Structure 1
């Protein structure tokens, strides 16, 4: 029998995924199509490029509303004029890169659709297109690759999510991911007022629902009760710690099998400081609150993954946000995620990130002596401690200077550290009486010349 290589399969939401890497849902792909068939052909091929690169599952976005539920929307929601601007010539979307100077590099991007419209009309208009897309993917993809439906709904009307969940279950998707995390509605007039007044417009509300414990429970419970396939909830980084724990608990109580953490965040693009504060957006006459995504989201992603894994047992976790290197996939999994969903990383690097991720995981499992990738899920949880329980070896550490690497740039001295100083010739020295070995000076060094070490005569600890 040929060697199949390391086992990268994982269990998630009651299903088996051939590997944990998938591309985060980005809704409709960017660009115009002249017909439904052209849209299906082009975009199903984009999904299949992910799969051919090694992705273990597919996520596509969709929504659907029946005429009966549409009447409920009209009864329960505030009427606004925004939906009637659908045919406006102003409609479009644009992206803006977030550049970064040394040492940070490219940080991500801003995204604006104008205006952002996801209403009952959108669901009806795309009814056949969604069906054709799922049919095409079912024919093209390997059977072992699950199809996950990122589900939208209207306002706080749970029935709109139920309509979509039933429809897509009938069409053959394997799993429902309720999207209560999308930041795009935050830029529309009326949505913020609706959030505070609990009176919503007849549009998709995204994170404005996902930041409300009541609606997380009600919408999730309605969908779970309506379908037989696994259901989970996509949350938002805007919720933050510790409230993300409350949202995850609400999802679990409603019967969710998993949570996805998380969607993109809300952002505001910087003004052009050399042009009177005007927008930096090309060919746009304003700057709205918008979607923002990039490597900076990895910090809240890890925090939320670790918190939910620790305090909300019984939920599987899909990690997304700032995962732009293969090592990040493993880090997120060790903190508690079973799936990883790079999105900005794919936009910036292409499908090569998936290929590198698969290759790295195979090598990692083999070299680190694991029998399967499943073994690493949550393995780092045992090392999460309260601050007062940590042994930081106070007084036993100090900074060491690698003379061969130090270029005497003075950056670490021209800083806030009390322990470093300059001697004749520009050489850097450490005052052992002042140095507490905190490592703060290492943040300033660009040449890896500074390192926290044990003081002379101190033995290596046996922590683990």
Structure 2
């Protein structure tokens, strides 16, 4: 008989039927109305998502041009223009850069969210949480609190403050010259003295659990101070990564121009970057906050492209996980396949519920000064070795080609394991010395 497993989890006291769902993403275009967005959200739900995100809810209501889908006016005002660009690092690792010209591009109105929720709420199964994201293009705590109250009236289960968004920073080559009220999103999230009063005001404005999105620009160890102070003012969770704020690479074959299509002056425009590389930033924040700040939960997001990544994040302390990269690369049914894989994994390992392995990896998390590195040596598996010579062509002084095949001189081997990374055929390992 196949043992029963329960993949449900809780975040901020809210039950979710699965620990996995889709990150908030831009549906904030007038040609993507609430009812149309509802169709996409229901695909996520039907695939097995444990939550849905209502992204970037800002104060205000649609303009006439937005209501009438007046595209020339909207594009001329730069309200709805953005570009995506893929940068291939190598055959196995891809990064996707998304650029948005202006903060005006990043918003949804509460009326849009109400239309969406009216459409999908009757069809939502039990255990699918609704997370609403609050965004205010300002740093005034009163404005954030007022918007939080408005969003709370929609009846979400959880509220997230988007204080990790890099879009505001993209609009300024020298953000240090901006007045404080212009430093919203990432710039506010990286400034605790500005962010914490906003967070406290929002927590006090509602009985719904409130959390926030962390920007990678905070860095370590500042993220620990921020998470601790956030917990002290009542935040229930932290989303452990957002996109990086970046300068894209110039086109070296075209005089240093930018690579984005359809941009004036061939500009190389300030951007954000998402994709697989975010995963390690997510692991860092998830693990270090979970281990050191027990008063706040972690909600892992960034670079998740396989079901194994979900388990890894949970083992590092995450209560739940979100991805957009996985959906972009693998399609919406990635949610279904991830849930099935998770169930199979739990059966194989003897776990009955998520709590059985949540945080298990934290007891093995140690600083480099706390562990002993054993004196090993490199060993070449002759059955796997193709004699390609890549290991000997690097800077390692211990490996050289002898009669057409690599040999290890143990006198110079420090067991650094660089050769195991270089070898494309997994023919090298490090083993104990005899």
Common fold by TM > 0.5: yes
Aligned residue number for residue 112 of structure 1: 99
1:134 touches 1:173 (CA, 8 Å); kept in 2?
A: no
Identify which range, 2-11 or 92-101, moves more after superposition: 2-11
- Following the alignment from structure 1 to structure 2, what is the Cα–Cα distance between the partners of residues 108 and 44? 28
Aligned residue number for residue 330 of structure 1: 311
2:163 touches 2:215 (CA, 8 Å); kept in 1?
A: yes
Pairwise CA distance, 1:333: 0.9
Give the RMSD, CA atoms, in angstroms: 2.2
Aligned residue number for residue 433 of structure 2: 455
| 1:412 aligned onto 2:412 | no
1:279 touches 1:287 (CA, 8 Å); kept in 2?
A: yes
TM-score, length basis structure 1: 0.85
Q: For 1:258-269, list aligned pairs within 5 A.
A: 258-269=237-248
Unaligned runs of 5+ in 2: 62-72
| 1:154 aligned onto 2:137 | yes
Pairwise CA distance, 1:410: 0.9
2:215 touches 2:243 (CA, 8 Å); kept in 1?
A: yes
Pairwise CA distance, 1:184: 1.0
1:185 touches 1:191 (CA, 8 Å); kept in 2?
A: no
1:63 touches 1:161 (CA, 8 Å); kept in 2?
A: no
Aligned residue number for residue 209 of structure 2: 230
- Following the alignment from structure 1 to structure 2, what is the Cα–Cα distance between the partners of residues 191 and 356? 44
Equivalenced residues, count: 420
| 1:52 aligned onto 2:52 | no
SS in structure 1 at match of 2:128: coil
Q: For 1:54-453, list aligned pairs within 5 A.
A: 54-65=48-59, 88=76, 90-91=78-79, 92-102=81-91, 105-117=92-104, 126-189=109-172, 192-193=175-176, 198-201=179-182, 205-285=184-264, 286-393=267-374, 395=375, 397-424=376-403, 426-453=404-431
Aligned residue number for residue 72 of structure 1: none
CA change 1:266–1:160 in 2 (3 A) is same
Pairwise CA distance, 1:129: 1.5
CA change 1:58–1:20 in 2 (3 A) is same
SS in structure 2 at match of 1:338: strand
SS in structure 1 at match of 2:200: helix
Pairwise CA distance, 1:32: 5.7
Pairwise CA distance, 1:86: 6.3
1:216 touches 1:251 (CA, 8 Å); kept in 2?
A: no
Pairwise CA distance, 1:241: 1.1
Pairwise CA distance, 1:118: 6.4
2:56 touches 2:162 (CA, 8 Å); kept in 1?
A: no
- Following the alignment from structure 1 to structure 2, what is the Cα–Cα distance between the partners of residues 118 and 306? 33
Pairwise CA distance, 1:318: 0.6
Per-residue deviation, residues 151-179 of structure 1 (Å, max 9, x unmatched): 10131111222222212221111100111
- Following the alignment from structure 1 to structure 2, what is the Cα–Cα distance between the partners of residues 444 and 3? 42
1:98 touches 1:106 (CA, 8 Å); kept in 2?
A: no
Unaligned runs of 5+ in 1: 68-84, 457-464
Match among 19, 39, 42 for residue 36 of structure 2: 42
- Following the alignment from structure 2 to structure 1, what is the Cα–Cα distance between the partners of residues 172 and 408? 57
CA change 1:118–1:209 in 2 (3 A) is farther
- Following the alignment from structure 1 to structure 2, what is the Cα–Cα distance between the partners of residues 173 and 12? 13
